[in-house]
A and B are shown apart, each in its own frame.
Chain A
Amino acid sequence: MEEYRLELKNVSKNFGEVQALENVNFQLGRNEVVGLLGDNGAGKSTLIKIITGYYRPTSGEILFNGQKVDHLTVSKARQLGVETVYQERALAELQTLWRNIFLGRELANRGGFLKVSMMRQETHRLMTQSMGFTSSAVSPESRVGTFSGGEKQGVAIVRALYFDAEIIILDEPTMGLSLNETAKLVNFVRDIKRAGKSAIFIDHNVLHVYNVADRVVVIDRGRIAGQFLTKDINLDTLMEKMVRVANTGSLD
């Protein structure tokens, strides 16, 4: 049997009285793009934050490449190759661009002293090659708070890619983006697939998810309501099922 890149077994998460996730079983294959769909408050973000190590599950197991991982933390997940582009982007807006690119994983020597010029060089390279910043007003020394929404998203994405991620999670990445920026983003997800990596793509917009995902997982009220391979289902049927699940809690 082929082992999964990432697998969640019977994962539940409670916040006090509220059960955000209930016995969730989720798999992400090698070189697979999975779209995660669900209404607001369905538990998508909670599921993501469990995978990234930000939340601990109340019960259940997390497996990376078939190996069970206990006490997953954010830094452990990053070491295992999980990179996330968060809905809230997780940028430090008062800090410079180069500091944001290397946030939490600064290039440093053994004593912890920063390799500042190396980080500036790398940031400059990423800016011109991957982020498409050509304006001379933007430099590695620019403060991220002065950037537009799309530019900030670019920073968050490039940061995720720089560190050789195996699993890239995109949490509502199209939020606040222009049409042009959204198109770029969809291409970017296709690039992930082409590069042989895996991705989890979360979005409100069924169309965006349908266009890039190999498989769609529908979450409703903390449970997995169902999943479909995008090649086996057409967009209209998927839309119908989404509406039905929001109203009745059942796909059929």
Chain B
Amino acid sequence: MSSQPNGVTSAASQPYKPTFRLGRFFRAYGTQLGILGVFFTLWFIFIVSAPETFLSPQIYYAFMSTVPFFGMMAIPLTMVVIAGEMDLSFPSIMAMGMVSFILTYAATTSVALSFITALITGVFIGWLNGVIIVKFGIPSLVATIGTQFFWRGAVLVLSQGKSGSLIFIKESLLRPSLVGKISNEFPMQMLWFITIAILGWVLLNRHKFGAHTYLIGDNVKSAELMGINTGRTRIMLFMLIGLVSAFAGVVASFHVAFFWPSLGEGYLLSTLASVFLGGTSVFGGTGTILGTFIGAFIIGAIQAATVAVGLTGFWTQLIYGLIIVLSVIMHTYLRKRME
């Protein structure tokens, strides 16, 4: 079989033992070390400037409660960006998933069924994004600007712009399992965020799908010459972010037991910022899940920190901008050094 490796000469050679070399370690993990450096530096600054806030556990439970809403979506978005694509439609997918949820509940009064319908809606919208991008060859940035408006419009038309209480979910077991608290402190959504991050890491680093994702972002021509179905892989990436976005939409809505037609609009920039802060290259081909995971917490902490250190909330965006620009410069510099 031609697809089987030929092991004719394998007997004689020394087995490969990865030896630890500091230089190689820095080259291989430079991006992750960079973001960890940023993380600890900022943390140190926060603790020094507002010790009473950042030395108490309450603030960390607060982060774990709010960061997962956008952090979860940042994981599949990292994979999309690694493949050299972009998705701007995920905030609308969050809301559209919830519209499906509410419509299904109205028809069946089953929360479980409504939840599944919401997830299917997310996967479907993602598939549609992928098909538009791959089959018509439209740049994903442009295509998803279009679908972002379309699905937000669909949400407004179907909900008539009305918000509404989701008080009925209080009875369901789904609520404690999505947004409950473990021993009254640890939020369940954090556990889901960690789960998605681990699954994302395994998929990206230990599965063919992830190998092909990196390859497409690195050199799409090589990927095609080596027989990789680049179209199918990209469509599946958009389906993945659709699925997670719909899931995040349900989690965020369950958290407040309320549906807003504007659900997700506030998460667009924080999700994108988490990915780029985490060192994923805008040009594709490189990026890590760990970087995005930490990036999401930095983004989440900045808002609380600006207020805690005594600045007004007006400073938040300025500091966001500064940290994002500086981090992207740092990552680009580190990447050049690695070559």
Contacts and interface: CB of A to CB of B under 8 A. Distances in A.
B214 A92 contact: yes
Interface in B156-202: 202
Contacts of A92: 214-215, 218-219, 222-223, 285
Interface of A: 52-54, 73-75, 77-81, 84, 86, 88-95, 99, 103-108, 112-114, 116, 120-125, 128-130, 139-143, 145-146, 162-166
Given A114-B206, A141-B18, A107 B214 contact: no
A81 B122 CA distance: 41
B227 A107 contact: no
B214 A112 contact: no
A163 B206 contact: no
8 contacts: A90-B222, A92-B285, A99-B215, A108-B208, A113-B202, A120-B18, A125-B10, A163-B2
A113 B225 CA distance: 22
B147 interface: no
Interface in B221-260: 221-228
A130 B212 CA distance: 26
A214 B214 CA distance: 41
Given A79-B2, A79-B3, A122-B5, A113 B222 contact: no
Contact of B214 (A74, A80, A99, A125): A99
Contact of A143 (B15, B224, B338): B338
A62 B79 CA distance: 38
Contacts of B15: 121, 124
A84 B9 CA distance: 22
Given A106-B211, A113-B206, A114-B211, A120 B224 contact: no
Contacts of A93: 218-219
B221 to A, nearest CB: 7
A139 B6 contact: no
Contacts of B206: 113-114, 116
Given A91-B219, A113-B206, A139 B227 contact: no
The 4 closest A-B pairs by CB, nearest first: A124-B16, A104-B226, A74-B227, A75-B227
Contacts of A114: 206-208, 211
A133 B223 CA distance: 25
Contact of A162 (B5, B16, B212): B5
A94 B213 CA distance: 13
Contacts of B285: 92, 94-95
Contacts of A120: 16, 18
Contacts of A54: 224-225
Interface in B24-79: 24, 27-28
A77 B254 CA distance: 51
B130 to A, nearest CB: 19
Given A108-B208, A114-B206, A114-B208, A74 B219 contact: no
A73 B230 CA distance: 13
Given A75-B227, A105-B226, A122-B10, 18 more contacts: A74-B224, A74-B225, A92-B219, A99-B214, A125-B9, A129-B12, A129-B13, A139-B19, A139-B24, A141-B18, A141-B24, A145-B339, A163-B2, A163-B4, A163-B6, A164-B4, A164-B6, A165-B2
A99 B4 CA distance: 16
B18 A139 contact: yes
A120 B218 CA distance: 20
B279 to A, nearest CB: 13
B228 A104 contact: yes
A212 to B, nearest CB: 23
A74 B230 CA distance: 12
A94 to B, nearest CB: 4
A91 B219 CA distance: 8
Contacts of B312: none
B225 A125 contact: no
B224 A103 contact: no
Contacts of A145: 339
A93 B2 CA distance: 25
A94 B286 contact: yes
A166 B215 CA distance: 26
Contacts of B105: none
Contact of A99 (B14, B211, B221, B228): B211
Contacts of A99: 211, 214-215
A73 B1 CA distance: 17
